[in-house]
A and B are shown apart, each in its own frame.
Chain A
Amino acid sequence: MTPPQPEPNLDDLDATLGSIEFPVRQETVARAWQITADQELSERFQARMLEALGPRARRPVELMILVTLVAKRGRERDLEKAAAEFADATNRLEGVISSTLYRTAASPQVLVLVERLVDREVLSRHMASDYFRRFQVAQQPLLERPAAATFYTPATI
């Protein structure tokens, strides 16, 4: 008759295994990766990566700009034509996701321009462009009041 096996001492097992790097399978590491949440990066870390990688490490933050243009009575068509040309030119700039002009039948004087840009660097080039300057000049005699622009960035929860 075989004598009963002695119970292993788990404290000893823990002490032994606590003293080495426990081998973890690649599939477990991959599983852990899948259920890991993204971590918000600190400015310190981003600055370090910027230094190591240069401008290519700059995280783009998309911009959406809502521009409300209110035409003087009788100048609605002129403003719409100038704004449509401006939107066309904007759409040709690299880094512009879209630039679209909207109007509503309820308020024929009001035009809304929705611009989506890849990041602020695109905004700088947009505002420094010839077509931007031309539109600034062209719109002045057509507007009832100064254009109102509101800037949006993606909401993060």
Chain B
Amino acid sequence: MSSVSEASDSEGQLLASLSRGDPEAVATLFLHYGPRMVGFARRYVGAQETAEDVVAELFERWLRNPPGVRGQEHLRGFLATSVYHAAVDFIRRDRAAQGKPPRSADVTARQDRRRKLPFVESGPGRPPEGLLARLLAALDQLSGSDRLLLETYYGQALSPEECMSVLRIGRTAFHQRLHRARMRLARLLSPADRGVTPGGER
């Protein structure tokens, strides 16, 4: 037990050193977690070279501006979240560099160009919050397994196989449950059915 507690103490010290801008802490993170961070970034950006750029930029940013670690108890959780956000940010900047609008702007543009999407309605009687706020509120009403399925499908947080393994289900059940989770989410986001209690599989 003492080794677990020592490891966690040492991780806490490393986080504290990182937040003070200690380059030794950044180097230690690179040496100990660099390979995992690059592997993790690859999940979201695909190519190894791009994943390395994402992680390198993150380290370089930490050297210039030490990150805030308030509320972060676990080093691995901090690293996972940091790399995830860096990867998402990289994708956003990459879209901008290619002249593509940000994803949220896409919705409005598509509405104007083609047809009104039923999940991004606005107008009299509609709540003023944006799609993301409504989505978060809808997700809060779903079960943990429904959310995981949706995070896999829409957020690429896990691969389908990893999600199946976590939920201990086979491919057929995965697709059936994913379909049902999407239906439940669609109903929650649908303006006509705001009051529906979704339930969900647990």
Which residues of A come within 8 Å of B, CB atoms? 5-10, 12-26, 28-42, 44-45, 48-49, 52-54, 56-57, 59
- CB neighbours (8 Å) of A23 from chain B are 132, 135-136, 139, 155
Residues 110-167 (chain B) with a chain A CB within 8 angstroms: 110, 117-120, 131-132, 135-136, 139, 147-148, 150-151, 154-155, 157-158, 162, 166
Asked whether, in the complex, the Cβ of A13 is within 8 Å of the Cβ of B48, the reply is: no
Q: Among B36, B48, B110, which residue has its beta carbon within 8 angstroms of that of A19?
A: B110
Q: Among B39, B40, B119, B183, which residue has its beta carbon within 8 angstroms of that of A12?
A: B119
With A29-B80, A36-B40 known as contacts, the answer to whether A53 contacts B151 (CB < 8 A) is no
Asked whether, in the complex, the Cβ of B26 is within 8 Å of the Cβ of A12, the reply is: no
Spot the interface stretch: B4-12, B13-21, B169-177, B184-192.
Answer: B184-192
Asked whether, in the complex, the Cβ of A22 is within 8 Å of the Cβ of B31, the reply is: no
- CB neighbours (8 Å) of A36 from chain B are 36, 39-40, 43
Q: Among A6, A26, A32, A54, which residue has its beta carbon within 8 angstroms of that of B43?
A: A32
A19 to B157, CA, bound (A): 16
A66 to B55, CA, bound (A): 38
- CB neighbours (8 Å) of A12 from chain B are 117-119, 186
- CB neighbours (8 Å) of B186 from chain A are 8-10, 12-13
A39 to B41, CA, bound (A): 10
Closest to A46 in B: B34
Asked whether, in the complex, the Cβ of A9 is within 8 Å of the Cβ of B118, the reply is: yes
A37 to B35, CA, bound (A): 8
- CB neighbours (8 Å) of A54 from chain B are 23, 27
Other A-B pairs beyond A7-B183, A8-B190, 6, CB < 8 Å: A6-B192, A30-B77, A39-B38, A42-B52, A45-B56, A49-B56
With A28-B157, A33-B76, A41-B38 known as contacts, the answer to whether A13 contacts B189 (CB < 8 A) is yes
With A13-B189, A21-B88, A39-B51 known as contacts, the answer to whether A49 contacts B34 (CB < 8 A) is yes
A23 to B157, CA, bound (A): 10
The yes or no answer to B69 lying at the interface (CB within 8 A) is: no
Residues 182-202 (chain B) with a chain A CB within 8 angstroms: 182-183, 185-187, 189-190, 192-193, 196
With A33-B79, A33-B80, A39-B51 known as contacts, the answer to whether A22 contacts B154 (CB < 8 A) is yes
Q: Which 3 A-B pairs have the closest CB atoms?
A: A8-B186, A33-B80, A38-B35
A9 to B118, CA, bound (A): 9
Asked whether, in the complex, the Cβ of A13 is within 8 Å of the Cβ of B63, the reply is: no
16 pairs, CB–CB < 8 Å, chain A vs chain B:
A10-B179, A20-B131, A23-B139, A25-B147, A28-B157, A28-B158, A32-B158, A35-B158, A36-B40, A38-B35, A39-B36, A41-B35, A42-B48, A42-B49, A49-B59, A53-B59
A126 to B190, CA, bound (A): 72
The yes or no answer to B60 lying at the interface (CB within 8 A) is: yes
